[in-house]
Amino acid sequence: MAFGDGSLDRWKKFCGRVARGSTMLLILTHRCIPRAAVSSRGYTSLQREEFSVSPDIPSPASDVAPEDMRRSTRDPASLRRALEGWLAGKLPGDAKPEVSDVSSPSANGLSSETLLFDACWQERGASVTGSFVARVEPDRDDCPVFPVYDMEAQYHLLEIVAQRSRVPVPVVRWLELGSEHLGAPFFVMERAEGRVPPDVLPYTFGSWLSEATPEERRTLQDSSVAVLAELHKIDAASPDLAFLELDLPGETPLQRHFEDLRRYYQWMRGERRHPVLEQAFDWIESHWPDEEGETVVSWGDSRIGNILYSGFEPAAVLDWEMAARGPRELDLGWMVFLHCFFDEIARGAEFPGIPDFMQPADVAATYETLSGHPVRDFDFYQVYAALRHGIVMARVHERRVHFGEAEWPEDVDSVIFHRATLECMMDGSWWRRPA
C-beta atoms surrounding 397 within 10 Å: 26
What gap in Å lies between CA 16 and CA 118, rounded to an integer? 43
Q: Is the Cβ–Cβ distance between 97 and 121 less than 8 Å?
A: yes
**Phi and psi for 173 in degrees, rounded to 5?**
-115, -50
Question: Does 1 reside within a domain?
Answer: no
Q: Is the Cβ–Cβ distance between 170 and 188 less than 8 Å?
A: no
What gap in Å lies between CA 2 and CA 8, rounded to an integer? 9
Question: Does 260 reside within a domain?
Answer: yes
Question: Does 273 reside within a domain?
Answer: yes
Residue 10 CB contacts under 8 Å (≥ 6 apart), including other chains: 349, 350, 351
What gap in Å lies between CA 77 and CA 65, rounded to an integer? 22
3-state SS, residue 384: helix
**Residue 111 carries which side chain, given as an amino acid letter?**
S
Are both 102 and 238 inside the same structural domain?
A: no
Among 150, 165, 190, identify where a domain stops: 190
Cα–Cα distances in angstroms (integers) from residue 419 to residues 100, 207, 246, 425, in the given order: 43, 25, 28, 10
Are both 208 and 278 inside the same structural domain?
A: yes
**Residue 421 carries which side chain, given as an amino acid letter?**
T
Q: What's the structural domain count of the chain?
A: 3
DSSP 161: H
Residue 24 CB contacts under 8 Å (≥ 6 apart), including other chains: 18, 345, 417
Radius of gyration of the chain (CA): 22
Closest alpha carbon to 413 in 429, 397, 399: 397
Are both 179 and 95 inside the same structural domain?
A: yes
CATH code of the domain containing 170 = 3.30.200.20
Question: Does 2 reside within a domain?
Answer: no
Question: Does 157 reside within a domain?
Answer: yes
DSSP 47: B
Q: What is the pLDDT along the chain (435 residues), one digit of tens a residue?
A: 444 455 555 555 555 555 444 555 554 543 333 322 223 333 233 333 333 333 343 334 444 444 444 444 567 778 999 999 999 999 998 999 999 999 987 554 555 689 999 999 999 889 999 999 999 999 888 899 999 999 999 999 999 999 999 999 999 999 999 999 999 999 999 999 999 999 888 999 989 999 999 999 999 999 999 999 999 999 999 999 999 999 999 999 999 999 999 999 999 999 999 999 999 999 999 999 999 999 999 999 999 999 999 999 999 999 999 999 999 999 999 999 999 999 999 988 888 999 999 999 999 999 999 999 999 999 999 999 999 999 999 999 999 999 999 999 999 999 999 999 999 999 999 998 876
Q: Is the Cβ–Cβ distance between 187 and 354 less than 8 Å?
A: no
CATH code of the domain containing 321 = 3.90.1200.10
User: Can you give 376-409 as a three-state secondary structure string?
Assistant: CCHHHHHHHHHHHHHHHHHHHHHHHHHCCCCCCC
Among 140, 168, 190, identify where a domain stops: 190
Are both 210 and 64 inside the same structural domain?
A: no
Question: Does 101 reside within a domain?
Answer: yes
Are both 61 and 91 inside the same structural domain?
A: no
Are both 237 and 149 inside the same structural domain?
A: no
Q: Is the Cβ–Cβ distance between 308 and 193 less than 8 Å?
A: yes
Question: Does 198 reside within a domain?
Answer: no
Are both 112 and 22 inside the same structural domain?
A: no
Q: Which residues pair with 308 in a beta bridge?
A: 316
Question: Does 338 reside within a domain?
Answer: yes
Among 41, 68, 95, identify where a domain stops: 68
Are both 324 and 409 inside the same structural domain?
A: yes
Are both 221 and 366 inside the same structural domain?
A: yes
Are both 174 and 264 inside the same structural domain?
A: no
What gap in Å lies between CA 158 and CA 172, rounded to an integer? 7
Are both 251 and 164 inside the same structural domain?
A: no
What gap in Å lies between CA 41 and CA 48, rounded to an integer? 10
Domain limits for position 314: 203-432
Are both 23 and 85 inside the same structural domain?
A: no
Catalytic one among 9, 75, 260, 301?
301
DSSP string, 136-148: EPPPGGG--SSS-
199 is catalytic: no
Closest alpha carbon to 50 in 41, 59, 40: 40
